[in-house]
Amino acid sequence: MRRQILTSLLAGAAVLVATGLRAQQPAPPNLDAVPEKMPFSNAYGPPVSAQRANSLIQAAAAEADKRGWAMNISVVDSGGNLVAFLRMDNAQLASIAISEHKARAAVRYRRPTKAFEDAVQKFDFKYILTLDDVIASRGGIPLIEDGKIIGAIGCSGGTGSQDEATCTAGAALVNK
């Protein structure tokens, strides 16, 4: 009898928790709505220089080092081509390619890769994963100067939020 009561209470609690979690989720965007303006429509500009790309990497690496994170950091130009890269000591090997992939996706799609992560995680838009060169993981940020995209920075090696914080420190030198 006690076991049945406990089981009933646990099942009821699980339903309440699940209902509460669903209630906290933001409403998914209406995919059939036609926006007046094109989202993420910054024009492409001249490519970031190698010298500038290295300064962005140094700023990102300083942030990661300050926090004790070992990161891989990539900067690509406005065409998605690798300009500069740093693998910090002890950064995981798998994250070398991931950091470049995040930067490439951010510049090609003209948006932070967190937008893809949110589309999949918050809104269950699995179709995002069918788009070429998408990576649904935060840590890729476009570099926008004078309203034009000059490149992107991508970081990988930690959690998504650590990757994003590292990239934000580097991108802050351009994105004001």
Kindly give the residue spans of alpha helices, DSSP state H, lying in 27-159: 50-67, 95-108, 114-121
Question: Nearest to residue 157, comparing CAs of 136, 175, 139?
Answer: 139
**Is 95 within 8 Å of 70 (Cβ atoms)?**
no
Q: What is the pLDDT of residues 18-38, one digit of tens each?
A: 455 455 666 777 778 887 888
**Is 82 within 8 Å of 74 (Cβ atoms)?**
yes
pLDDT at 91 (0 to 100): 98
Q: pTM higher than 0.85, yes or no?
A: no
**Residue 9: which pLDDT band, with cuts at 50, 70 and 90?**
very low
Tokens for 167, please give them: 């990239």
Ordered by where they begin, the domains of the chain are 43-171 (3.30.450.150)
Q: Look at the block and give the residue holding tokens 């209406």.
A: 30
Asked if pLDDT for residue 171 goes beyond 80, the answer is: yes
Q: What is the pLDDT of residues 139-164, one digit of tens each?
A: 999 999 999 999 999 999 999 999 99
**Residue 2: which pLDDT band, with cuts at 50, 70 and 90?**
low
